[in-house]
């Protein structure tokens, strides 16, 4: 029995040792498995990261490819834009040159037009002045004719139809004096500006008529004067008035 017990005890101890060894091996295997799992997980994570990096790299490569295409398109557009800008700059220079030529032509045309307008205005002024002087010459000729006829009547023998009084003759001399003042004022305006002849034109014939009336009245009064000497002096004075008036009327003639 002792031997059996010893044998069983040794077998039990052997079994315990075998169990411990197996458990040790199992623990080691478990640790190895856990390490392998961890390695597998690490490798899986690395694989996932590698795939992510690959996908990101592919996306970046695609983006770079797209940007490269865009860059090429932009480069082509920039080249076209530069050509267009250069063409526009050349066109602008041409337009500026054309505008400068047009401006010079317009300025020359304006100068020529201004000269033509000035010449036309001068011609119109000269024509108007010539017409005005022609009217004045006609008025002066008419005044000369009126006074000249009265002078001829002074030397013509026979009685004058006018039979006025010395008082009436005196009043007429006042009218002549007023007409002379108007003629003087008109002549001063005409002398200052030959285009301002309206007043002078309007005073020549009235003066000639008043002088003619005074001469006719003076001759008539002198013929009926009881004092022959005074009558002759009056007639001579009237004749002198006519002569001086005729010379005065000729002065404004152009």
Under 8 Å between Cβ of 245 and 211: yes
In 3D, which of 250, 210, 219 has the Cα closest to residue 237? 219
Evaluate if pTM is beyond 0.75.
no
Rg (CA), the chain: 69
Distance CA 103, CA 95 (A): 12
pLDDT digits (tens, 9 = 90+) for 61-83: 677 666 667 767 777 777 777 88
pLDDT in 10s for each residue of the chain, 254 residues: 556 557 766 776 777 777 777 777 777 777 767 776 776 777 677 777 777 877 777 777 677 666 667 767 777 777 777 887 788 788 878 878 887 887 888 777 777 767 766 776 777 777 767 777 778 778 888 888 888 888 888 877 755 555 567 777 788 888 888 988 888 888 888 888 877 778 888 888 888 888 888 888 888 777 777 788 888 888 888 888 888 888 888 755 45
Distance CA 236, CA 230 (A): 10
- C-alpha atoms less than 13 angstroms from C-alpha of 33 in its C-beta half-sphere: 6
């Amino acid at each position: 029995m002792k031997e059996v017990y010893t044998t069983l005890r040794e077998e039990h101890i052997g079994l315990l040792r075998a169990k411990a060894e197996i458990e040790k091996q199992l623990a080691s295997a478990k640790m190895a498995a856990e390490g392998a799992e961890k390695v597998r997980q690490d490798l899986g994570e690395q694989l996932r990261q590698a795939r992510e990096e690959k996908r990101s790299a592919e996306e970046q490569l695609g983006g770079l490819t797209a940007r490269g295409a865009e860059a090429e398109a932009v480069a082509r557009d920039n080249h076209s834009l530069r050509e267009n800008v250069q063409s526009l700059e050349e066109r602008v220079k041409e337009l500026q040159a054309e505008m400068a030529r047009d401006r010079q032509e317009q300025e020359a045309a304006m100068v020529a037009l201004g000269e033509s307008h000035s010449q036309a205005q001068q011609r119109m002024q000269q024509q108007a002045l010539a017409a005005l002087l022609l009217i004045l010459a006609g008025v002066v000729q008419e005044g000369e004719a009126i006074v000249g006829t009265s002078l001829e009547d002074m030397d013509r023998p026979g009685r004058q139809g006018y039979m006025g009084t010395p008082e009436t003759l005196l009043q007429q001399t006042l009218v002549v004096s007023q007409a002379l003042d108007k003629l003087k004022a008109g002549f001063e305006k005409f002398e200052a500006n030959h285009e301002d002849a309206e007043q002078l034109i309007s005073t020549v014939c009235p003066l000639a008529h008043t002088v003619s009336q005074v001469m006719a009245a003076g001759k008539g009064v002198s013929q009926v004067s009881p004092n022959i000497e005074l009558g002759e002096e009056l007639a001579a004075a009237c004749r002198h008035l006519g002569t001086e008036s005729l010379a005065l009327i000729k002065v404004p003639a152009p």
